[in-house]
A and B are shown apart, each in its own frame.
Chain A
């Protein structure tokens, strides 16, 4: 459970598509495992590359991730029943903030990557949903990470990540629902905005420290 955050960077490794995928991949559609693998490996390649420009790395990773992770479905999962009761404006604001929050939380973590390897199991497919079990080899410890994918718009996209039995979406849902119940949507959105601001500020700081 505790490894959740340390390895969280591997969450978003799960998010992306090869933007410049060769056209012939469309002819033989890849399964969920292969599509996920492409994204994860692409992110790992960026992480391993020696280039020091962290901003550029972050940008590239974010692009890969946004292509593989469906933040809209994830947000829907986080809000659960509240989603229907939420109006269109608030919905899109929530999706936007949640995307930013996840990115700030996990992409900021690229500095902690130390060459961990990822091992993939075959996908379990049921209708338009799939689960891909992976194991992250970290310093002799295996951390199980399961990606849940759904087939949407001709490709497999991730809508939840389960690390050591803890579902990311359920985890967020449980804490956000508590805030929603006590303080309401406006307050939640406000708190999210505030958190994004502080995360950005603290990252700017560490960056300065690193380059200084």
Chain B
């Protein structure tokens, strides 16, 4: 990378760090790049409880989707629905790819949006991937912040939304504004769509939570580490 870009990055990093610090008050923001994450705000029990609460929220919604012995929504429809939602977030991916100076990826996301919204019938089918071999990648503002060197801060489990870190949690705010769904529909409809999106995703990946809880000595630690490993890799790609 040319060193002008590095200078640009350093400047953006500085500004972003200041913004995050101002936003999030205080020394809790550890801008450490390496090493273990700082232990969290809650005690161990508090956190485990919050994982469980999320789970029950999911379960409640899931009953609307699946009854005991039948699938109310057939799997192909679920996959299609997932594609529609992922098509809706392509502008968000493109913006964040641009912010991270990943021009090729930004172009790919734009092409995907154009192809899938038309030929793919509002994104129901992923034509771009299947027939044109254009693959996308989820990019969000948390990754953009990470790209410019903003540290993760501590790990948190957000109600309903699940695993996150301080940085990624803050990043949900700009992501929310950049999400096309929030421009297209009013606030209430947006919330309902988010709910459907979540339930649909969960239905495609049903037994994950139950198995982690059943099989791991400490599900909280296991999920925390998995989340952080996955995020670090996505930030550094």
Contacts and interface: CB of A to CB of B under 8 A. Distances in A.
Interface of A: 1-6, 8, 104-105, 109, 112, 139-141, 164-167, 170-172, 174-176, 178-179, 188, 191-192, 195, 198-199, 202
Contacts of B215: 5, 104-105, 195, 199
A205 to B, nearest CB: 12
Nearest to B36: A174
Contacts of B226: 1, 4, 166, 171
A192 B226 CA distance: 20
Interface in B215-237: 215-218, 221-222, 224-227, 229-230, 233-234
Interface in B60-108: 75, 79
Interface of B: 36, 75, 79, 126, 204-208, 211-212, 214-218, 221-222, 224-227, 229-230, 233-234
Contacts, number: 73
B221 A174 contact: yes
B208 A175 contact: no
Residue of B208, B211, B215 ringed by the most chain A CB atoms within 10 A: B215
Contacts of A4: 208, 226
Given A4-B226, A139-B204, A179 B217 contact: yes
A104 B215 CA distance: 9
Contacts of A191: 217
Main secondary structure of the interface of A (DSSP, over half): helix
A6 B230 contact: no
A175 to B, nearest CB: 4
Contacts of B126: 140
A167 B211 CA distance: 18
25 contacts: A1-B226, A1-B230, A2-B208, A3-B205, A4-B208, A5-B208, A5-B212, A8-B211, A139-B75, A139-B79, A139-B204, A166-B229, A171-B222, A171-B225, A171-B226, A172-B222, A174-B221, A174-B225, A175-B216, A175-B217, A175-B221, A175-B225, A199-B214, A199-B215, A202-B214
B214 A165 contact: no
Nearest to B205: A2
Q: Which of A8, A174, A188 has the most CB of B within 10 A?
A: A174
